[in-house]
Chain A
Amino acid sequence: MTGDLKIVLEFSAGAELLFDNIKKREITLPSTEKWTIRNLLKWMKENILRERPELFIQGDTVRPGILVLINDTDWELLGELDYELQQKDNILFISTLHGG
């Protein structure tokens, strides 16, 4: 479908360990709904989050201590969960939690 949303997800500093140890992946989201970071996190939890979801998700947002950069810009500057995803957006999740 031409309207599908293609974005890139990147994981760094240990966050990749929860996602099959894959640091970078391109995903295609169906155009059936308006995609925000909030929906994306839900989608990630259901589809690609493999291990210990509590280390990544807390409620409907990411766990404190995980930095989110959208196209190299801190998500806090872009509306956080309400940011509407655009074609070819690059979402980077950096974990500042390294466990014991």
Chain B
Amino acid sequence: MCSIGEDDFGDEGGVHSMIPDVKTSQPQLSIDNDILCNKCKQPGATYKLAFREPECKECFLNYVRHKFRAALGSSKVLPKNANVLLVFDCSAQSLVLLDMLHHAQTQNTFKRLHCNATVLYIDDYQMHIDGECSPEYEKHLKDVQSTCSTYEHFDCYILPLVKTDTVNDLIFNLKYLPEEYSANVDKHKSQFKELLNCMRSLTSKQDFIKHYRSKVIGLAAKHFQCQFAFKADISSDLASDLLAAIALGRGGSAALDVALVDNRLDDDIKIVRPLKDLTEEEINLYVIAQNLKLLEQRSYGSDFGPSASLQNLTKAFVEDLQQNYSSTVSTVFRTGSKIASQMDEKSELCCVFCKSVLDYKDSNTLLAIEFSRIVSECGIKTEDISELSMEAHKHVEGDIEGRDLTKVCHACRNIYADSSNKDILLL
């Protein structure tokens, strides 16, 4: 076991433990605009990010936009004139991504980012409300339309979060959204909601939605013939996603959950996270600096509190630590980027649902888990130990309740076990 302050360290203890940030007192400055920007040395510094010197609005914008461009540039992931699907989810970060991409495409020729972007809003509003379409929903749709219309450069589409077989029929251009849109998609949306209700725990529901969204993004990208899909995940999202993935038994694919490029989707479509190095603070200041109008955004299950699901708890844990230990997110996130994924990819060895490499083969850990579970279920009945071991082996290999789950990874099997609809992973 690891412990702090023992003889091994040769200290009095506590030296190796984490020490909360010390708040240094800031000298009183005058309120005139005479604070010099540390970058351009001109008066008018207005922003002071953690670990950085004061800077003016222009230099701040250049700095954050550079992070976005550098993420794409240094990895050389995006070929010239590539078709890109930008996934918009109403969050502040996706608004920032939209604005940054718009800015990058309206630069002079030398600096312009050469790609053809299409914006897709995945409409999952139904998951946050009960009952029929409400006036709030109509207002929300109008807000999304008006936000997207300010970026004339892009074609913007809407797709409700529905079963995958209907995806291609339900993509609408936001500019020409039919009057009867909400009525038309209502049936499909309720079907999806019923599907969610088949799962008992919020942990499974959130995990299902996360990977289902990726699946839908892949189908939509194929529909628009885009090889790349931009997602607006930032460092704090990725830090909690990484820890949650490990807690959920997705350690084998956790590296791809936080990497710049996630290439798990079918048809060689890649999810790219160009904002992965941005912080929550930078996103908020960018919104203020660019005067962007924030939209109402809710993530599924966040209203139920930190202890409602593993994901919520992990998020609360990371955020809580981040308050007093401001390197928490970057430490977790950087550690995640150093984990290598298993790359012996052959399509037949991937999970049918999350497309991760199958992780159960020869796993002693899973065998121990299954064995323990079976022994617990046996209760006081005495069974032959070798029979129990055989049963555990069968479970690990994917023969559960007489169904063939050989092409489902460990974490997705947990979703399966939690759901009363046993076809849920094949949708």
List the interface of chain A (C-beta within 8 A of B): 12-13, 63-65, 67, 69, 72-74, 76-80, 82-83, 86, 92, 94, 96-100
Contact for A100 among B29, B281, B312, CB less than 8 A: B312
Question: What residues of chain B lie closer than 8 Å to A77, measured between beta carbons?
Answer: 26, 29, 35, 45-46, 48, 54
Chain A at the B interface: SS class:
loop
Question: What residues of chain B lie closer than 8 Å to A67, measured between beta carbons?
Answer: 281, 284-285
Whether A69 and B305, one on each chain, are in contact in the complex, defined by CB atoms closer than 8 angstroms, is no
A94, B28: Cα distance in complex, Å: 22
Whether B288 and A73, one on each chain, are in contact in the complex, defined by CB atoms closer than 8 angstroms, is no
Question: What residues of chain B lie closer than 8 Å to A64, measured between beta carbons?
Answer: 21, 323-324, 326
A8 CB to closest chain B CB, in angstroms? 14
**Across the A-B interface, how many residue pairs have beta carbons closer than 8 Å?**
75
A94, B280: Cα distance in complex, Å: 10
Q: Which residue of B lies closest to A99 (CB)?
A: B302
Total interface residues in chain B, CB < 8 Å: 34
User: What would be 14 A-B contacts, judged by CB atoms less than 8 Å apart?
Assistant: A63-B323, A65-B319, A72-B46, A73-B46, A73-B47, A74-B54, A78-B29, A79-B29, A83-B31, A86-B31, A96-B280, A99-B302, A100-B308, A100-B316
B322 interfacial contact with A, CB 8 Å: yes
Question: What residues of chain A lie closer than 8 Å to B288, measured between beta carbons?
Answer: 12, 69, 72, 92, 94
Whether B46 and A12, one on each chain, are in contact in the complex, defined by CB atoms closer than 8 angstroms, is no
Chain B at the A interface: SS class:
helix
A23, B300: Cα distance in complex, Å: 23
B306 interfacial contact with A, CB 8 Å: yes
B395 interfacial contact with A, CB 8 Å: no
Q: Which residue of A lies closest to B318 (CB)?
A: A100
Bitwise, B202-230 to A at CB < 8 A (1) or not (0) is: 00000000000000000000000000000
B376 CB to closest chain A CB, in angstroms? 30
Within 8 A of A (CB), among B286-342: 287-288, 294, 302, 305-308, 312-313, 315-316, 319, 322-324, 326
A79, B35: Cα distance in complex, Å: 12
Whether B319 and A97, one on each chain, are in contact in the complex, defined by CB atoms closer than 8 angstroms, is yes
A37 CB to closest chain B CB, in angstroms? 12
Task: Name the residue in A79, A94, A100 with the highest tally of chain B Cβ atoms < 10 Å from its Cβ.
Answer: A100
Question: What residues of chain A lie closer than 8 Å to B306, measured between beta carbons?
Answer: 99-100
Contact for B316 among A74, A79, A86, A99, CB less than 8 A: A99
Whether A94 and B324, one on each chain, are in contact in the complex, defined by CB atoms closer than 8 angstroms, is no
Known: A92-B288, A96-B280, A96-B284. A76 touches B26 (CB 8 A): yes
Question: What residues of chain B lie closer than 8 Å to A78, measured between beta carbons?
Answer: 29, 31
Beyond the given A94-B288, A99-B305, please list 7 additional residue pairs across the A-B interface where CB-CB is below 8 A.
A12-B284, A13-B287, A64-B324, A74-B54, A96-B281, A100-B302, A100-B316
A82, B31: Cα distance in complex, Å: 12
B92 interfacial contact with A, CB 8 Å: yes
A12, B281: Cα distance in complex, Å: 12
Contact for A80 among B26, B45, B294, B302, CB less than 8 A: B26
A24, B178: Cα distance in complex, Å: 34
Within 8 A of A (CB), among B1-55: 21, 26-29, 31, 35, 45-48, 54
A12, B92: Cα distance in complex, Å: 11
Whether B29 and A65, one on each chain, are in contact in the complex, defined by CB atoms closer than 8 angstroms, is no
Known: A13-B294, A80-B26, A100-B315. A74 touches B308 (CB 8 A): no
A55, B45: Cα distance in complex, Å: 29
Q: Which residue of B lies closest to A13 (CB)?
A: B284
A65, B316: Cα distance in complex, Å: 13
Q: Which residue of B lies closest to A64 (CB)?
A: B323
Whether A65 and B323, one on each chain, are in contact in the complex, defined by CB atoms closer than 8 angstroms, is yes
Whether A79 and B26, one on each chain, are in contact in the complex, defined by CB atoms closer than 8 angstroms, is yes
A43, B27: Cα distance in complex, Å: 24
A92 CB to closest chain B CB, in angstroms? 7
